[in-house]
Chain A
Amino acid sequence: MKATVHVTLKNGVLDPQGKAIEHTLSGLGFKGIGDVRQGKFIELDIAEKDKTKAREQVDAMCRQLLANTVIENYTIEIIE
């Protein structure tokens, strides 16, 4: 089974990287760009066959390593 995880900064948390992207885009001539927020995308294979259990596993991974839950949110998708 495959799992994908999106990790994004919580609303209201400053995103210096997003700010840098926005700034560079406007430097490259892209007009009307605003509020760029960036995050990370993680894809992994899991041996677990049960979808619910797989989600639980990935959820534990997110809490312990993949996301910093103090400032980040995450969403998990399990793909069979």
Chain B
Amino acid sequence: MSKITPEIVAEHGLSKEEYQLVLQIMGREPNITELGIFSVMWSEHCSYKSSKKWLKTLPTEAPWVICGPGENAGIIDIGDGDAAIFKMESHNHPSYIEPYQGAATGVGGIMRDVFTMGARPIANLNALRFGRPEHPKTRHLVHGVVEGIGGYGNCMGVPTVGGECEFNKSYDGNILVNAMTVGLAKANNIFYCAAAGIGNPVVYVGSKTGRDGIHGATMASTEFTEDSEEKRPTVQVGDPFTEKLLLEACLELMQTDAIVAIQDMGAAGLTSSSFEMASSGGVGIDMNLDNVPQREQNMTAYEMMLSESQERMLMVLKPGKEDMARAIFEKWELDFAVIGTLTEPDADGNGHMVLYHKGEKVADLPINPLAHASPEYDRPWVPTPKRETLSPESVAAPTSIMGALKTMCGGANGSSRRWIWEQYDHMVMGDTVQRPGGDAAVVRVHGTQKALAMTSDVTPRYVFADPVMGGRQAVAETWRNLTATGARPLAITDNMNFGNPQRPEIMGQFVGAVEGIADACRALDYPVVSGNVSLYNETNGTGILPTPTIGGVGLIDDVSKTVGIGFGGVGQAIIIIGETHGHLGQSQYLMEIIGRDGLAMEDGAPPPVDLALERKNGDFVRGEIISGTISACHDVSDGGILVALAEMAMTANIGAKIEDVSGQLPLHAWGFGEDQARYIITTSNPEDVLERAEKSGVWATLVGTTGSGELTIGDEHSISVAELKNAHESWMPDFMSHPEAH
């Protein structure tokens, strides 16, 4: 057994202090397999060592929450014995290295997280962030990522119904691929990861283990492989058809009473799954690695424990159920192997992970110290400096209001994402009620009148300028998007993408964003039930814009009541809910028309988020949708009122005549300002809606009527909906049809 040198320790990403802790826990020098296990268990990804302290402050409870963070995914009660299980997870780095496989395995991984708990996945969403369109790698990355997402999701037969796609130079060298899956289960048939029952068999199912994605990569490959000239690929390749079999086999076995605990093998594969199961259950595991199904010859214990081969699961079964379970997995043509048994904890109550390989004991690790005593850092942080609010008058007017609107609707970040979502099968399973392109996707709970609404949102430039406000805004925007379909928002998953936490200003962004998210969750009764943290998103010392992507899920009791964003017909009254102050700081107008990047202090503060107002306005709008008085609803976000109106018009192919109600505000500040807590609705009964709004203390303004093929404001400003739509629909296909640049 090779000696552990300081270089080997460093290559495993452990600091000197962490290694001292390893020695203390072990009471001896670890061998290379044990060191590898420590390294992955204590990695940022598995241990949340920089973020844990702050994540604990997030609200995670509500009467409808069945299971909050800590398991594979979060679970909420959606009535009638049904539960929705969902989570969002990043696959940023792999997708930058190999966009197709990186994105595909990201989708595969998040679906496994959801079906591990007993749910059938019913929808996928993806929040994507790429570098500048003109960056030489961007087009290639967009192609690969979108194809990879579609490839995996389409093969699995799960619709991809929504998400986001944004371009910004801060992601030039570090794209973000955040994948979310929503699944449905019966509330009385949910599966958790806590192992129990001394002597119960530990079973491996799914694909065989190969040398995929083994980290600590350089050292491991020179140390362990014969063909040293070829570096081991650290990219995993996914096989969606195998995952489909694994899904069906797991769900079939879950109909019996055979499973005690189940955990998918995601990051750090066999190591993290076995440790999580044992530590949650307070037991030990004896594992014989000879029994692990292997794809390649001569795999070492180190390689098997660290492999990230896809489409694998670890389960603890009740005794005597092995043959029945084996028959199910063999029927689905999957590997099935009993690789271990649960063991008693020692006298101190510590379970041990004891690994055998080729007749030798190759590792003996105490589970709790490793899983629970992982380092937790209170990293130094500095609050982000506050910015001044820009006055509406201080931002220059465009040469033409409608010209500016067309530029924004047809720009990289304002244009239609049809090119992306048309590559995804968004209708498969037959329950997609609202397709991509609206505020939130709506997917029916099969065979019922209920539906789930789901969305993902964040405005990274807001978070950069004011992390607390940006964190609030991200949560509030998902809440609004769900509300705009008529759904009652229930819970969120958060995917925290940040730069290097060892830099105090980055850690300050993280701390601020968590505070903002927590504020909004509390005020909106909208807890966090699952999440994922991705740190060190940097290239050459420049971090990405802080991007806490929020995935929200809401419930619609009667799917026939849901409304979309397209104008609900001709001759309808258009009402704006919520007050307009003309907030242009950090606005899309400031970026796209004035040409700022939002980084400088003089680009101003993001719009303030008044959570009580959000709630009041949102509750009013939802009530109107449910009572059937309004025919369309769209939340006002990026680009303000005019972009929202244009989107409603383009979706319906119907124009509108809008009064100039800007009053004291410059028209461009009224039209493009991004004040929060606003919606635009259409109705055939404006008097009643306005009266009820007044009674509820909700600001509502009648601004115009739908009709004709033009979008007109006042007497002077007009553009045809067809012209807007042409600009809106053509940017993305035009951009992508350029020959591949390298």
A residues engaging B (CB < 8 A)?
9-16, 19-20, 23, 64-65, 68, 70-71, 73
Contact = CB atoms under 8 A, between A and B. Distances in A.
B359 to A, nearest CB: 25
B233 A73 contact: no
Contact of A14 (B232, B241, B309): B309
Contacts of A68: 98
A10 B233 contact: yes
A68 B238 CA distance: 15
A36 to B, nearest CB: 12
Question: Taking chain B's interface residues, is the majority helix, strand, or loop, or is none over half, making it mixed?
Answer: loop
Contacts of A11: 227, 230, 296
20 contacts: A10-B230, A11-B227, A11-B230, A12-B211, A12-B232, A13-B233, A13-B235, A13-B237, A14-B207, A14-B210, A14-B236, A14-B237, A14-B295, A16-B241, A16-B242, A19-B239, A64-B742, A70-B98, A71-B98, A71-B235
A73 B233 CA distance: 11
Contacts of B233: 10, 12-13, 70-71
A68 B102 CA distance: 13
Contacts of B207: 14
A13 to B, nearest CB: 5
Interface residues of B, number: 25
Q: Which 6 A-B pairs have the closest CB atoms?
A: A16-B239, A12-B211, A14-B237, A70-B98, A10-B233, A64-B742
Nearest to A73: B230
A64 B140 CA distance: 11
Interface string B232-258: 110111110110000000000000000
B294 to A, nearest CB: 12
A23 B207 CA distance: 14
Contacts of B242: 16
A15 B296 CA distance: 12
Interface string B181-198: 000000000000000000
Contact of B97 (A19, A23, A64, A70): A70
Given A70-B233, A71-B233, A71-B237, A14 B98 contact: no
Contacts, number: 48
B212 interface: yes
Given A19-B239, A23-B333, A71-B233, A12 B212 contact: yes
A64 B98 CA distance: 14
A12 B241 contact: no
B310 interface: yes
A73 B227 CA distance: 14
A15 B212 CA distance: 11
A71 B227 contact: no
A50 to B, nearest CB: 24
Most buried by B among A9, A12, A64, A71: A12
Nearest to B240: A16
A18 B98 CA distance: 20
B237 to A, nearest CB: 4
Contacts of B296: 11-12
Nearest to B295: A14
Contacts of A9: 237
B245 to A, nearest CB: 11
A77 to B, nearest CB: 20
Given A70-B97, A70-B98, A12 B239 contact: no
Nearest to B297: A35
A79 B526 CA distance: 67
Contacts of A70: 97-98, 233, 235
Contacts of B232: 12
A71 B4 CA distance: 31
Contacts of B309: 14
B101 interface: yes
B177 to A, nearest CB: 16
Nearest to A20: B241
A63 to B, nearest CB: 9
Contacts of B236: 14
Given A12-B210, A16-B242, 4 more contacts: A13-B210, A13-B233, A68-B98, A71-B237
A65 B740 CA distance: 10
B230 A13 contact: no
Contacts of B237: 9, 13-16, 71
Nearest to A60: B742
A70 B309 CA distance: 16
Contacts of B742: 64
Contacts of B238: 14
Interface string B96-108: 0110010000000
A31 to B, nearest CB: 18
Most buried by A among B101, B233, B296, B309: B233
B227 A13 contact: no
Contacts of A15: 237
A73 B232 CA distance: 12
Contact of B310 (A12, A14, A73): A14
A20 B155 CA distance: 15
B201 to A, nearest CB: 27
Interface string B707-742: 000000000000000000000000000000000101
Contacts of B212: 12-14
B684 to A, nearest CB: 54
Contacts of B101: 71
A68 to B, nearest CB: 7
A23 B211 CA distance: 21
B335 to A, nearest CB: 12
Contacts of A65: 740
Interface string B393-430: 00000000000000000000000000000000000000
B123 to A, nearest CB: 24
Contacts of A10: 230, 233
